[in-house]
Amino acid sequence: MKTQEEIKQVIRLENVNVFQKKNLILSDVSLHINKGEFVYLIGKTGSGKSSLLKVLYGELKISHGNGSIADFNLITLKNKQIPYLRRKLGIVFQDFQLLSDRTAKDNLLFVLKATGWKDLQKMNDRMNEVLQQVGLSTKGFKMPHELSGGEQQRLVIARALLNHPEIILADEPSGNLDPETTKEIMNLLFEITKTGTSVLMATHNYTLFEQYPARTIRCDLGKISEHSSEP
């Protein structure tokens, strides 16, 4: 039987409306994601997937309904709280957003310093831990352009893991990758959920959730709906 900690809800949205400026993108959104759960967010380009993710990491405000992520109330969230929220999230984008003039390890160091780490030994230990976790333990000295696309995405995932996030928000993380590399990234993301970190992954690649079944949320016609869970 699962303990209360194991079934903790890390994301909870109730009857939320999602706006971009004054345009209603999604209406009456209700969504619950548990600790350690993998969930797909699917839909066509422009269906609202990215807007929903922006709500979850604090870039878009909500003014209707109730919402929380990683114990932060999204209704009352203040701008000064957003950096603290993002320390509890890992965000993975399709276009990597790595610092091209720094090594893999220095990309990680930049994030640790920016999120309040001070102890150099602890920072070095944590960088080594996440590089090991994503299979890049020998690549820390390389510049981003010296890494393959799959290795760059692994580095992005390592960066997302630095602050022990409760949830990773991944926006089309396999969009620029070949099928074999996509398989490696998907296996890595599913492994991460076994440590208790949840993953919400936006994608329009429907073959992924046929190969890697999991609970699926669909954005369509301004609404979200839930589809079959993993077997």
pLDDT value at 1 more than 50: no
Class of the CATH-defined domain 1-88+209-231? alpha beta
Summarize pLDDT for 101-133 with one digit per residue, the tens.
999 999 999 999 988 899 999 999 999 999 999
CA dist., res. 1 & res. 222, Å (int) = 37
Report CA 13 to chain centroid distance, whole Å: 17
Q: Which two tokens stand for residue 13?
A: 């949205």
Triad 19, 20, 21: Cα angle to 5°: 100
Q: Are 167 and 10 in contact (CB under 8 A)?
A: yes
Summarize pLDDT for 165-215 with one digit per residue, the tens.
999 999 888 887 888 888 999 999 999 999 999 999 998 888 888 889 999
Write the single-letter amino acid at 207. Answer: T
How far is CA 151 from each of CA 32, 61, 112, 181, rounded to the nearest angstrom?
31, 34, 20, 9
Half-sphere exposure (CA, 13 Å, Cβ side) for 37? 22
pTM score: 0.89
Q: Which residues pair with 218 in a beta bridge?
A: 42, 225
Q: Which residues pair with 19 in a beta bridge?
A: 24
